[in-house]
């Protein structure tokens, strides 16, 4: 055990980060803060200089001997850069941080790269653009960091990658590359395209129609604001898995449109109802604190849209000794009130509701 | 002018509410609180008794002479009930509160109802289920209340409906019935079905996949948790307009699936990129305080997941004299940190960021 941790320590002492955009620069900042010697490289000398100026690490030198190399370049060129790094540093362990994991692995295998020293990863940091100017040492704190295993390397051999994720405050999650891609197609990539398609319809909408937009529309289309340049690469690299999610969705959409074209038919009513029930069932499977989570109960408090009201509410909830598990705000433009949906443990609901009404707050029923 | 307001006052003195679910009972509670004499009726005697017990009004009597009748029954039976009320009370002005406006109007016209005394309406109260037990006098405060005009009656003749909306704290919005239905199909009904279809895909997902669910998936599928019984009626009654939104969406989805099936082709890349850009353009058209609104700038503050931290943050923002325009929380299950995205006027951003860092908060870049 002593030998192994000594080996790990050696591996992470010199880390080479290739690609100094938001992710690469943030990794550099975070590892530098942990005392690692970080080397920053980038195809663009000016981008590299910027990341170095921000403190992400030092410029490469001829005698660099990195134990670990992190490739943080756009999805399109991941395999090329990983292959080049594996060849140039024949002792180093190499990972990448792209959102798709199977395509680069297969490209590397096809060209005969040394896969015993490569294990892809995917930090789900959620803000994959912005460049080194947006980099933060704590970008990965509390986020899942997927380690995409394959049969050419053991997780134990790749322990330095897991240690890096831990050093950056992330939560390592081991997952086969194919499983990763299928999973993110379902929970991230297909939803991105569906949100884009739905938002796209709004281009033709009247101002009157858009003026009626409520929280439901805002929520369903929010991620349609994402960066097209990045997403076209992600979707292209995971195309088969994304299509596998969208194809049955398209078939069900076809059936629904047919039902809407003949809405009085009993079969149509049933088809529409079944689609809605299926949606209920699907959304209930999402874990987490939001809305559907049966672990928590919620109440809705009316808050005047003026400075300090929400802070006062949350302070008073704290004074009641209640731990708020989640908070969701809702308010329409041009109105003077908002609503705060407060999630708490079920046993805290009734005492909190009584205490808030006592303190003069107006409670509404939770919407769902 | 004196005559008109006297007439209006007479009209609203006795209000008959037919249907005593959440909306009907809330209208009864709100108008009773304003001093109106409210009569509550319902096809179900027990439902009616419950609403009366909650204070929504009194039971009908043989000599009732309501000036205004509000029909708050399920969409399927709106036209039947409105027609019956118009016949039974030949002096009364009648409105309904269903989410679809053209179908009941056309059904009433087809059966020769007196449309000079009917004007449909739609309070966008957002919580259209729950029964009288969930009713609140302030359910409509700050919400748009659409008055769905048609050529058989002037808005002036229907002033008592607008006054009722104002009495309940709502914001009256005049809109042709057909425009209303087309608008809500775009901003509410089609998004509901798309969210249901997307959430439906999650039924087949692995636990591993669902475990990677992030805020994007939660947002895009939240409304898929809605009540199927209510929505099947709404969608059935507005089927043609909803289909008109979904048909081009289906065509674009077909194109996208074809592009994903041949992802290396330049035309495929372009098709995917164009869909993403179209989504950017669509979402930018949504007015309001959230995300895409260019009137506000935002910053993201890291908050420890412990009691009182968010309240402390909001209190300190208030102490800095800054009015928070919006707040969005993000946190993953099983992690100990969360992120609060604070929207403020652009000129307040830099001073607030500096003050919060001074006070020891960790700021991140806003995600978009």
Q: How far is CA A268 from CA A261, A309, B61, B190, B238, in A?
A: 9, 47, 41, 16, 13
Please check whether residues A128 and A276 belong to one and the same domain: no
Whether B221 is in a domain gets the answer no
| CA closest to A145 among chain B residues | B212
> Who among A224, A228, A310 is closest to B273 (CB)?
A228
CATH code for the domain of A319: 3.30.70.260
Average pLDDT over residues A28-49: 94
| CA closest to B175 among chain A residues | A208
Task: Give the residue from B175, B191, B216 where a domain finishes.
Answer: B175
Our CA-based measurement puts residue B163 at a distance from the nearest CA of chain A, in whole angstroms, of 18
Interface test with A, best of B165, B177, B202, B284 (most A CBs within 10 A): B202
Contacts of B268 in chain A (CB under 8 A): 236
Please check whether residues A129 and A33 belong to one and the same domain: yes
Contacts of A152 (CB under 8 A, 6+ apart): A109, A115, A116, A118
pLDDT digits (tens, 9 = 90+) for A228-274: 988 999 999 999 999 999 999 999 999 999 999 999 999 999 999 99
Please check whether residues A122 and A20 belong to one and the same domain: yes
Q: Which helix (H) or strand (E) holds A85?
A: helix A78-88
Interface test with B, best of A192, A217, A277, A343 (most B CBs within 10 A): A217
- pLDDT in the model for residue A337: 62
Q: Cβ–Cβ of A232/B276 closer than 8 Å?
A: yes
- pLDDT in the model for residue B295: 63
Whether A237 is in a domain gets the answer no
- A76-80, A354-358, B298-302 — which is least confidently predicted? B298-302
> Who among A192, A211, A365 is closest to B127 (CB)?
A365
Please check whether residues B171 and B34 belong to one and the same domain: yes
Residue the block writes with tokens 């707040």: B327
Interface test with B, best of A22, A143, A180, A187 (most B CBs within 10 A): A187
Whether B122 is in a domain gets the answer yes
Q: How many CB atoms lie within 10 A of CB A263?
A: 19
Task: Give the residue from B134, B151, B175 where a domain finishes.
Answer: B175
Please check whether residues B156 and B16 belong to one and the same domain: yes
- pLDDT in the model for residue B310: 83
| CA closest to A122 among chain B residues | B212
Q: Cβ–Cβ of A197/B256 closer than 8 Å?
A: yes
CATH code for the domain of B55: 3.40.50.720
Please check whether residues A146 and A27 belong to one and the same domain: yes
Whether A165 is in a domain gets the answer yes
Whether B83 is in a domain gets the answer yes
Please check whether residues A81 and A163 belong to one and the same domain: yes
Whether B211 is in a domain gets the answer no
Closest residue by Cα to residue A249 from A202, A288, A291, A194: A194
Please check whether residues B68 and B164 belong to one and the same domain: yes
Please check whether residues B42 and B81 belong to one and the same domain: yes
**Does residue A334 register a pLDDT over 60?**
no
Whether B209 is in a domain gets the answer no
- pLDDT in the model for residue B16: 98
Our CA-based measurement puts residue B90 at a distance from the nearest CA of chain A, in whole angstroms, of 31
Q: Number of structural domains, chain B?
A: 3
pLDDT digits (tens, 9 = 90+) for A11-23: 457 999 999 988 9
Whether B205 is in a domain gets the answer no
Contacts of B253 in chain A (CB under 8 A): 197, 246, 249-250, 253
Return d(Cα B309, Cα B306) in angstroms, integer. 6
Contacts of A273 in chain B (CB under 8 A): 228-229, 232
Our CA-based measurement puts residue B202 at a distance from the nearest CA of chain A, in whole angstroms, of 5
Alpha helical stretches, state H, chain B: 2-13, 22-33, 45-53, 78-88, 102-110, 159-167, 177-184, 190-201, 207-211, 215-221, 228-237, 239-261, 266-283, 309-319, 346-358
On average, the pLDDT of chain B sits at: 87
Interface test with B, best of A276, A309, A317, A356 (most B CBs within 10 A): A276
Cβ pair B147, B165 in contact under 8 A: yes
pLDDT digits (tens, 9 = 90+) for A120-172: 999 987 553 467 777 888 889 888 899 999 999 999 999 999 999 999 999 99
Q: Cβ–Cβ of A311/B288 closer than 8 Å?
A: no
Q: Cβ–Cβ of A196/B278 closer than 8 Å?
A: yes
**Does residue A106 register a pLDDT over 80?**
yes
- pLDDT in the model for residue B294: 54
Please check whether residues A309 and A169 belong to one and the same domain: no
Task: Give the residue from B124, B143, B175 where a domain finishes.
Answer: B175
> Who among B253, B302, B362 is closest to A197 (CB)?
B253
Portion of chain A with pLDDT greater than 70, in percent: 89
Please check whether residues A116 and A136 belong to one and the same domain: yes
Query: Whole domain around residue B333: which residue ranges?
Result: 297-364
Please check whether residues B128 and B258 belong to one and the same domain: no
Our CA-based measurement puts residue B256 at a distance from the nearest CA of chain A, in whole angstroms, of 8
**Does residue A368 register a pLDDT over 70?**
no
- pLDDT in the model for residue A126: 58
- ipTM for the complex shown: 0.77
Q: Which residues of chain B have pLDDT under 50?
A: 1-11, 128-129, 289-293, 333-335, 366-368
- pLDDT in the model for residue B10: 45
Contacts of B337 (CB under 8 A, 6+ apart): A141, A142, B302, B303, B304, B305, B331
Our CA-based measurement puts residue A68 at a distance from the nearest CA of chain B, in whole angstroms, of 26
pLDDT digits (tens, 9 = 90+) for A181-221: 999 999 999 999 999 999 999 999 999 899 888 888 999 99
- A104-113, A181-190, A317-326, B153-162 — which is least confidently predicted? A317-326
- pLDDT in the model for residue B1: 36
Closest residue by Cα to residue A251 from A262, A240, A243: A243
Q: Cβ–Cβ of A223/B218 closer than 8 Å?
A: no
Most confident of the following: A9-23, A306-320, A350-364, B186-200: B186-200
């Amino acid at each position: 055990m002593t030998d192994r941790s000594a080996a790990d320590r050696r591996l992470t002492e010199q880390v080479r980060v290739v690609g100094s955009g938001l992710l690469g620069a943030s990794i550099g900042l975070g590892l530098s803060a942990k005392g690692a010697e970080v080397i920053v490289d980038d195809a663009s000398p000016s981008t590299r200089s910027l990341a170095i100026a921000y403190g992400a690490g030092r410029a490469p030198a001829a005698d660099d001997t990195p134990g670990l190399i992190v490739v943080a370049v756009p999805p399109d060129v991941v395999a090329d850069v990983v292959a080049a790094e594996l060849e140039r540093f024949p002792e180093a362990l190499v990972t990448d941080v792209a959102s798709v994991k199977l395509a680069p692995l297969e490209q590397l295998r096809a060209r005969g790269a040394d896969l015993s020293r490569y294990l892809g990863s995917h930090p789900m940091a959620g803000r994959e653009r912005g460049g080194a100017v947006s980099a933060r040492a704590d970008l990965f704190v509390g986020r899942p960091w997927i380690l995409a295993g394959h049969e050419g390397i053991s997780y134990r051999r790749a322990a330095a990658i897991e240690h890096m994720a831990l050093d950056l405050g992330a939560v390592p999650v081991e997952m086969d590359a194919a499983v990763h891609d299928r999973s993110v197609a379902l929970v991230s990539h297909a939803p991105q395209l569906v949100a884009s398609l739905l938002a796209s319809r709004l281009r033709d909408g009247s101002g009157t129609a858009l003026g009626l937009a409520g929280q439901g529309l805002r929520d369903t289309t929010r991620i349609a604001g994402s960066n097209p340049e990045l997403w076209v690469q992600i979707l292209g690299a995971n195309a088969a898995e994304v299509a596998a999610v969208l194809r049955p969705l398209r078939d069900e959409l076809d059936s629904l449109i047919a039902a809407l074209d003949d809405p009085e038919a009993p079969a149509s009513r049933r088809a529409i109802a079944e689609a809605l029930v299926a949606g209920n069932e699907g959304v209930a499977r999402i874990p987490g604190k939001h809305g559907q989570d049966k672990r928590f109960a919620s109440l809705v408090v009316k808050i005047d849209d003026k400075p300090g009201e929400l802070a006062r509410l949350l302070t008073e909830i704290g004074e009641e000794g209640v731990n708020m598990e989640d908070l969701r705000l809702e308010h329409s433009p041009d109105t003077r009130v908002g609503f705060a949906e407060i999630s708490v443990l079920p046993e805290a609901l009734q005492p909190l509701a009584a205490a808030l009404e006592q303190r003069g707050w107006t409670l509404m029923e939770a919407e769902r």
